A and B are shown apart, each in its own frame.
Chain A
Amino acid sequence: MKLKEVAQLVEAEFLNLPEKADEEVHTACAADLLSDVLAMRGEAALLITGEAAPQVVRVADVMNIRAILYVRGKKPQKKDIVKWATQRGIVLLSTPLPTFEACGRLYVKGMRCSECSEIEFA
Chain B
Amino acid sequence: MERQVFSYSVVRTGSFEDVGLISTEIKKKLEELGVERNIVRRVSIICFEAEMNISLYAERGGNIFVAVEPDKVDIYVEDDGPGIEDLEKAMQPGYSTAPLWVHELGFGAGMGLPNMEKNSDVFEITSELGKGTKIHSVVFRNKDAA
Contacts and interface: CB of A to CB of B under 8 A. Distances in A.
B41 interface: yes
Contacts of A58: 19-21, 23-24, 48
Given A55-B20, A63-B45, 17 more contacts: A32-B106, A35-B115, A36-B109, A38-B111, A38-B115, A43-B41, A51-B106, A53-B105, A54-B16, A55-B16, A58-B48, A59-B20, A61-B24, A62-B20, A62-B24, A62-B44, A122-B37
B24 A35 contact: no
A39 B20 contact: no
A33 interface: yes
Contacts of B24: 58, 61-62, 88
Given A35-B107, A35-B112, A88-B24, A54 B17 contact: yes
Interface residues on A, range: 20 to 34
Contacts of B20: 55, 58-59, 61-62
- Interface centre among A32, A51, A58, A61, by most chain B C-beta atoms within 10 angstroms, is A58
Interface residues on B, range: 20 to 34
Contacts, number: 69
Interface of A: 32-36, 38-39, 43, 51, 53-56, 58-59, 61-64, 78, 81, 88, 122
A62 B106 contact: no
A39 B112 CA distance: 9
Contacts of A59: 20, 48
A55 B49 CA distance: 12
